[in-house]
């Protein structure tokens, strides 16, 4: 039903409740940012409550009554880091809302891409020149009021998984079973969506609405404000109730899960933890990634580790936990292990060390050569690699071409190529795959690494996946290493992004990055063309 205002000039209560559901799909990133902040404060945080305005903004009220206006902006992974020319406009919006709210709150800007220090140094000046505001005013706001990217958020495809992982940690701290994190996350997410309101039809109206919201918040007038308020205490009770309901009545119906015993037996993987799988003991090293399969049948975990017993050595672990009665995930691990054995004569191909199946889980242990990922070995690609470093990377990729050719000859493709999944060997500098990627798995919409995902991976049911997918991903990697930029939807010629780079890079990379897969070069030809780029930078 429509909301009535406690004050005639409070445009905050102008719109009907929850009339924006038809457009809210575009703002799921903002919702998840708010979900993560609430989860992070369930146990011991200083946040007292949040008030949701539109999906891109909310007010956070600390335990001591300090109010913070938070603005959230999402950037695609193929977009560059924030520059002063791009950042000044959303910051100017924050400023206008801050003025409308009587200059009585703090302001924070949150994004999934970091804001470089150089951008912050020149932001106030750029903003002043473009808006006409006095430089002293913009400088004072940036220095004294604005907090930028206190916490860089994950990219859109990963933020839901991050929120679920944060919920697992929160449940452990609350002395509850982390296997019910998915259900508890869903409960908070539904509550966040429910309290958001319709998008204002103009920035001016939004400012007036926020001003009305602030007055209602400070004076506690009008019961309507409660419709848009989430208190951490209420959310904590919601999580505990949801958890206990799952324990008492089984797993929630909308989340297909196997028996609780199988998930509990597998246990959580955390950096630095020692985990035992059957008779083997492993030390988890670095980041642990987890994701649920597209069909909801299983959850996959991945991590670097050192095997401690029965023999020692660096390994890569890939674990699958069954979430229903199907064997999809474990069958994929078996196929991957079989494929690795089939490729054991191929130089640079990953080697299976073991496949351990126990209860509802299976763990594939892959022998890891001495070496680290491309960025860990050669450094970040900011500005593009200098000629000697770029040539070293191009020479190393010849080894990768041998492995990919062997996969392609079997009618398969890796489909998960990125600087994070490719290792530079310590002895020869060869670049080899950490594992076989998705070669043993069925294609699923949205698969593939951010920034290097081929267009057909967003819609594999209509556009086939194949060797051309690896061609695109490898071209995207070389484009990034040579220019410092991800290619994006319509990539610019590399030679225009990096002066001095040979136009030969344009001739080799741009055809391989075409939207239509049938317009890309043959994989064998492309690998040869890449080798020909050595010495051309």
pLDDT digits (tens, 9 = 90+) for 451-476: 999 999 887 767 889 999 999 999 99
Where in the chain do CATH 1.10.510.10 domains reside?
372-531
Q: How far apart are CA 250 and CA 131, in angstroms?
A: 58
Instruction: Report DSSP state, residue 113.
Output: S
In this prediction, what percent of the chain has a pLDDT beyond 90? Answer: 44
In 101-222, alpha helices (H) = 117-131, 135-144, 156-173, 181-195, 203-219
pLDDT band with cut points at 50, 70 and 90 for residue 257 = very low
For residues 286 and 275, the answer to whether their CB atoms sit within 8 Å is no
Listed range (109-118, 241-250, 392-401, 453-462) with the worst mean pLDDT: 241-250
Architecture of domain 267-367: 2-Layer Sandwich (3.30)
Strands of 422-425's sheet in order across: 371-373, 422-425, 431-433
pLDDT at 525: 95
For residues 461 and 445, the answer to whether their CB atoms sit within 8 Å is yes
Sign of CA dihedral 79, 80, 82, 84: negative
Where in the chain do CATH 3.30.200.20 domains reside?
267-367
Q: How far apart are CA 68 and CA 520, in angstroms?
A: 50
pLDDT band with cut points at 50, 70 and 90 for residue 202 = low
| Residue at token pair 């999944």 | 421
Question: Looking at the predicted structure, is the pLDDT value of residue 116 above 50?
Answer: yes
Q: How far apart are CA 182 and CA 189, in angstroms?
A: 10
What the block records as the tokens of 183 is: 């259900």
Listed range (6-10, 202-206, 246-250, 271-275) with the worst mean pLDDT: 6-10
Q: How far apart are CA 287 and CA 274, in angstroms?
A: 14
In 258-327, alpha helices (H) = 260-266
Q: How far is residue 339 CA from its own chain's centroid?
A: 29
Q: Which fold has domain 372-531?
A: Transferase(Phosphotransferase); domain 1 (1.10.510)
Q: How far apart are CA 196 and CA 227, in angstroms?
A: 9
pLDDT at 249: 66
pLDDT band with cut points at 50, 70 and 90 for residue 425 = very high
Q: How far apart are CA 429 and CA 208, in angstroms?
A: 60
């Amino acid at each position: 039903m429509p909301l009535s205002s406690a004050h005639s000039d409070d445009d905050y209560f102008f719109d009907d409740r929850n009339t924006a559901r038809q457009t809210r799909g575009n703002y799921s990133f903002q919702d998840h940012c708010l979900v993560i902040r609430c989860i992070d404060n369930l146990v011991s945080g200083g946040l007292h409550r949040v008030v949701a305005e539109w999906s891109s903004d909310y007010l956070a009220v600390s335990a001591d009554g300090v109010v913070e206006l938070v603005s959230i902006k999402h950037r695609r992974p193929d977009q560059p880091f924030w520059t002063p020319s791009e950042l000044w406009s959303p910051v100017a919006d924050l400023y206008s809302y801050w003025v409308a709210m009587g200059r009585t709150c703090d302001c924070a800007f949150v994004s999934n891409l970091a804001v470089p220090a150089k951008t912050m140094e020149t932001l106030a000046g750029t903003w002043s020149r473009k808006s006409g505001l006095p430089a002293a005013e913009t400088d004072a706001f940036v220095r004294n009021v604005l907090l930028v990217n206190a916490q860089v958020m994950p990219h859109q495809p990963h933020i839901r998984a991050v929120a679920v992982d944060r919920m697992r940690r929160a449940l452990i701290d609350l002395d509850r079973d982390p296997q019910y994190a998915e259900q508890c996350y869903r409960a908070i997410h539904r509550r966040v969506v429910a309290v958001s309101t319709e998008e204002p039809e103009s920035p001016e109206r939004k400012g007036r609405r926020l001003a009305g919201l602030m007055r209602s918040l400070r004076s506690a007038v009008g019961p309507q404000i409660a419709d848009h308020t989430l208190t951490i205490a209420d959310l904590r009770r919601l999580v505990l109730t949801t958890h206990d309901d799952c324990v008492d009545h089984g797993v929630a119906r909308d989340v297909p899960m196997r028996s609780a015993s199988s998930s509990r037996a597998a246990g959580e993987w955390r950096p630095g933890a020692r985990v035992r799988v059957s008779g083997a003991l492993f030390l988890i090293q670095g980041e642990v990634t987890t994701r649920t399969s597209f069909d909801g049948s299983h959850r996959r975990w991945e991590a670097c580790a050192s095997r401690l017993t029965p023999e020692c050595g660096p390994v890569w672990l890939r674990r699958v936990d069954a979430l229903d009665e199907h064997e999809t995930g474990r069958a994929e691990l078996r196929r991957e292990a079989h494929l690795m054995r089939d490729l054991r004569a191929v130089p640079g191909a990953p080697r299976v060390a073991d496949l351990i199946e126990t209860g509802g889980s299976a763990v594939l242990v892959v022998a890891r050569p001495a070496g680290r990922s491309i960025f860990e070995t050669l450094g970040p690609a900011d500005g593009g690699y200098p000629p000697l470093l770029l040539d070293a990377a191009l020479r190393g990729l010849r080894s990768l071409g041998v492995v990919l050719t062997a996969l392609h000859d079997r009618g398969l493709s890796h489909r998960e190529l990125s600087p994070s999944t490719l290792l530079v060997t310590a002895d020869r500098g060869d670049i080899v795959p950490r594992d076989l990627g998705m070669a043993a798995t069925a294609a699923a919409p949205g698969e593939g690494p951010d920034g290097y995902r081929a267009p057909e991976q967003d819609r594999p049911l209509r556009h086939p996946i194949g060797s051309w997918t690896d061609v695109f991903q490898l071209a995207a990697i070389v484009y990034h290493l040579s220019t410092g930029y991800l290619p994006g939807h319509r990539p610019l010629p590399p030679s225009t992004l990096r002066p001095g780079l040979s136009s030969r890079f344009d001739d080799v990379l741009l055809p391989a990055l075409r939207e239509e897969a049938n317009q890309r070069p043959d994989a064998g030809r492309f690998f040869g063309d890449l080798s020909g780029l050595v010495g051309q930078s």
